[in-house]
Amino acid sequence: MAKPEFSATALDRFLKSAFPLHGPLRKLTEGEESRAFTFDAGEYVFAVRVNATIEGFEMDRLICAALSGSAIPVPDVVLIASLEDARFACVSRRLPGDTLQALPKGGAFALGSAIAQTLDQIAGLDEAILHRLAASPLMSAQASWPDFVAKVARLDWQHASAGARTSIDRWTDLVAERVAELPQRRGLVHGDFGSNNVLVQQGVVSAVLDWSEARIGDPLYDVANILFWRSWLDCMEQQCRYFEQREPWRLAEREILTCYQLRIGLETLHEAFADDDARLIDWAMQRCTEIAARA
């Protein structure tokens, strides 16, 4: 998905109003959807993100409130506001650490245990917290977990080439065939775990960022996300190697992981075709081919 264009002047006016004594903006490593910066204001360091929609920021605020006091490090959302140019800004406290993607090649392997522990903490939230999340308007409006997985069968592939459609239809059928057999698990799913959404410092996970894709469902989906992106990013490859060498039991449910990886791949391809991102299209087609071959 293309990142939003925005007015730097509008952002500056907003920050001057909300944080009159703020320091200069410094660019942060960005995700796929938001523009991101950091700035100092008094004794605190903040991050500000700009997006074309507000829903993801509202989900961040919901998760922040729900996980307050838990062992999962989530930045405090300080302020969400609309800008003058029909964009939205979210200001949060900046937690320390480097993204997994910023680590030197091979560096993420040593953090495998810490990352796996964080996955377990997310997956093992207390039922009372899950109940509150599920009752919130943001979560209650979401489709059921089986419907979420099956949603890729309803994607419009008008931008895809005829040659790609043959493979896409086959992968869609593979996902649809598995939906009825999915486990009835009820846990918090981050939805885009890894790379730029995990900060680490001194051998531990210091922050889990960007909960815009969060939902209630099968937490194994977050493992599948790491597996799908392994050949795109070294930090994902190292986490996969850690699972394979140290905790192979996490990969035991191969058919379910294959279903989830293909679902992630189809959504990735859909966005890549819409954005005419040739590099990502070629890679995702090859990756889905590899995954489907093991189905």
Rounded Cα distance between 71 and 53, Å, is 29
DSSP letter for 240, please. Answer: H
Rounded Cα distance between 125 and 191, Å, is 15
Pick from 182, 209, 161, 202: which is nearest to 63 by CA? 209
Of 60, 192, 210, 218, the active-site residue reads 192
- The b/e string for 169-193 (b: 16+ C-beta within 10 A; e otherwise) is eebbebbeebbeebeeeebbbbbbb
Active site residue 210: no
Rounded Cα distance between 198 and 205, Å, is 7
Max intra-chain CA distance, the chain: 57
Count CA atoms within 13 Å of residue 214 on its CB side. 29
| Neighbouring residues of 245: CB distance < 8 A, sequence distance ≥ 6 | none
Rounded Cα distance between 272 and 234, Å, is 21
Pick from 46, 80, 45, 48: which is nearest to 61 by CA? 80
Q: Which residues pair with 59 in a beta bridge?
A: none
- Look up residue 235 and give its amino acid: C
Residues with catalytic roles? 192
